Chains A and B, each alone.
Chain A
Amino acid sequence: MKLREIAHARAGDKGNIVNISVIAYNQENYALLEEHVTAERVSQLFASLIARPAERFCVPGLGALNFVLHRPPSESVTRSLALDGHGKTLAFVLLNLEIGLADSAG
C-alpha cells in the first residue's frame, strides 16, 4: 500500500531547506506512520536531492510527522536552476512511498 492511502502531506521551504509534513487521515493510523515512515527511509528516498540525512519531528497530537530535508547550498529557492526551485512538488514523492501493508489498513 502507498502512504497516500492513509496520509496527506504538504511541502514548505526556507532557503535550501524543504519540510514535508505527513499527516494521518485517521488518528489511529498515526502509529503506522511512526513505524513505517522513518527518517532512514525518507533519507534513502530523497538521497539524490539532499546533502545530509533527513530529520524527523513527531507531533502525535496532530497525528503528524514533519520531515526536514537539507538540500545542497546551491539548491536553495533563490539559487537553484531547477524548474521547481521551492520543492513544492516533493510532498507527492513521499506520498508515493510503499509502506508494505495490505490495502485494508486505510
Chain B
Amino acid sequence: MKTVRIGAGAGFAGDRIDPAVDLARDGRLKYLVFECLAERTIALAQLAKRQGSSSGFDPLLRTRMEAVLPFCRSNRTRIITNMGAANPQGAVRETILLARSLGLFGLCVAWVTGDDVLHLLPGHTSGDPREELVSANAYLGIEPIRECLRKGADVVITGRVADPSLFLAPMVHEFGWSLDDWQRLGQGTAVGHLLECAGQLTGGYFADPGYKDVAGLDRLGFPIAEIDESGAAILTKLIGSGGALSVRNCKEQILYEVQDPSRYLTPDVTADFTTIQFAQDGPNKVLVSGAGGRERPTSLKVSTGFHTGFVAEGQISYAGPGALPRARLARQILENRLHWIAVGDLRMDFIGIDSMHGAMLSQLACEPYEVRLRAAGRFVEKCDAHRLTQEIESLYVNGPAGGGGAVTSVRENIAMDAVLIPRRSVAPEIGLEVA
C-alpha cells in the first residue's frame, strides 16, 4: 500500500534548526513542513513591512532554507511552510536567489497569497478607540497549496494558512482524496494537528521528572508521520534522536489548543477527535487512526491585529534576610510614583511568590531567599512607557537596601482578535518561480 512520509521541521518561528536538518538528511521524507507563524507574528511582520524596517517574511527563512535545501533537493523532499508571513512573494524571491547561490538550478518555488483581507474590513474596530487595526489575515485551507504541488512546486511558501492544512494538503495531493471526504480529511487533520508543534509530540512540553521522564531533550528529534491512503499513520522519529514518542505524548498533543474535541474547526473540515485511537507499535512508534469529520465551516476565521501602543516592563531583585519586606517596600514606592497610570494598565508581581497564578493560588510555606519585583504597564505614548522603566531603574539608588539586577524593556504591542467572514469573499492566488 502507498504511504507518504511527512516530517515536522519547526513548531514555532524561533524553533531549533538542527532537528530539521537531521530529518532532511535521514528522514526519507516526501515532505518537510515548517510551521513558523504564530498569531501575532504576521501582524508584527505587517507593521515592520509598513515601516520599511523588514521584508515582511520570516527573518529565519534564509537560515532554515540554506540548512535543508541541499538535502531536500538530493532526497527529492518537497518543502511546505508559512514562513512567507506578510510577504510570501518576497520570501519566494529570497529562496530563488538562495537556491541559485547554492547551485540548485531548476528548483521550483511557489507562493500562496490572498490571506490578507484588510481591505474587506473597513472601519472594523476592537471597541477601544485608542487601538488601530493594522492587519487582517484569513486562515486559508489546503486548496491553494494542493494547486502549487500539482504544478510541480518543490517548495511552497504561504502566509496565513491553518496549521494542520500545511500537512493535510500533501496528503490530499498524494492520495487524491476528495475535498468532501470528511472522514479522511478529519483523520488527516488530526495527523496534521499532532505534527504542527513539532517537538511537542516527541517529548517537548511534556517532561515532569519523577512522573513523566524524558531523556535527551537537548537533542530532541522532531516527528515523522507515515500516512496511508485511509489517513491512518505511524508517528515516529529518527533512531538515535532524543525525546520520546508515546501514546501519552499523543493524547496531550491531540487536545492541545482544542476547545470542543468533537468539533475542531479548520477551513477544510470539522474534525472529530473524540473517536481517535492511539496504539504503541514499538519504541517511539505510535499508530494513530479513527478520527472523524463532518462538513467544513461556511465561514473562514480572520485574525485581526490591533496596534495598542506600548508595553513597558521592569524587574529588580532583593535577596537574603528581609528580601520580601524590601521587595514590598519597593512596590509601595512604585505604586506611589506611578499613580498616574490608569487602574488596569499597571500590573505588579513578585517573581518567585505570585507572578504566575496570582496571590489567590500561590501558597508560601516559608520566607523565600530571593524575590524579584516585576512591574508592567501599557501606554499610548512611548515616552510614558519610558517613565515606568526609569522608575524601576531609580530603585537602585532611591529604593530599599540591596536592590540588584534591574532589567527593563519597552516594546510596541500588537493585540490579536478574531472575526469570521464568508468563505466566498476570500480568493487565494498562487504563483511559481524557477531558480
A45 to B358, alpha carbons, bound, how many Å? 12
Q: Do A47 and B360 have beta carbons less than 8 Å apart?
A: yes
The 6 closest A-B pairs by CB, nearest first: A12-B257, A21-B255, A48-B360, A10-B252, A81-B347, A81-B376
A34 close to B (CB within 8 Å): no
Residues of B within 8 A of A15 (CB): 39, 416-418
Chain B interface residue count: which class?
35 or more
A residues 40-98 with Cβ under 8 Å of B?
Answer: 45, 47-49, 55, 57, 59, 61-64, 66, 68, 74, 76-79, 81-84, 89-90, 93
Interface size for chain A: under 10, 10 to 19, 20 to 34, or 35 or more residues?
Answer: 35 or more
A17 contacts B by Cβ under 8 Å: yes
Tell me, yes or no, whether B377 is within 8 Å of chain A by CB.
yes
Q: Are B378 and A8 in contact (CB-based, < 8 A)?
A: no
Question: Can you add 13 more A-B contacts, CB < 8 Å, to A23-B251, A48-B360?
Answer: A8-B252, A10-B205, A10-B252, A12-B255, A12-B256, A19-B259, A57-B259, A57-B260, A66-B261, A81-B311, A81-B376, A81-B377, A82-B376
**B252 pairs with A79, CB closer than 8 A:** no
Q: B276–A61 contact, CB under 8 A?
A: yes
Q: How far is the CA of A16 from the CA of B270 in the complex (A)?
A: 22
Q: Among the listed B254, B260, B357, B378, which residue makes an inter-chain contact with A62, where contact means beta carbons less than 8 Å apart?
A: B254
Measured in the bound complex, the distance between the Cα atoms of B126 and A74 in whole Å is 12
The docked-state distance in angstroms from the alpha carbon of A59 to that of B205 is 21
The prevalent SS among residues of A at the interface is mixed
Interface-facing stretch out of B13-21, B132-140, B348-356:
B348-356
Determine the chain B residues whose CB is within 8 A of the CB of A76 once the complex forms. Answer: 415-417
> Residue on B with the closest CB to A96?
B361
Alpha-carbon distance between A56 and B306 when the two chains are bound, in angstroms: 31
By the criterion CB–CB under 8 Å, are B251 and A64 in contact?
yes
Complex Cα distance, B360 from A45, in Å, reads 9
Decide if A89 touches B357 in the complex (CB within 8 Å). yes
Known contacts being A21-B255, A61-B274, A64-B251, is A79 close to B308, with CB within 8 Å?
yes
Q: A10-B205, A59-B274 are in contact. Are A81 and B378 (CB under 8 A)?
A: yes
**Cα of A17 to Cα of B416 in the assembled complex, Å:** 13
The reply to whether the CB of B253 lies closer than 8 angstroms to some CB of chain A is yes
Cβ distance A44 to chain B, nearest Cβ, rounded Å: 11
Q: Which of B257-302 contact A (CB under 8 A)?
A: 257-262, 273-278
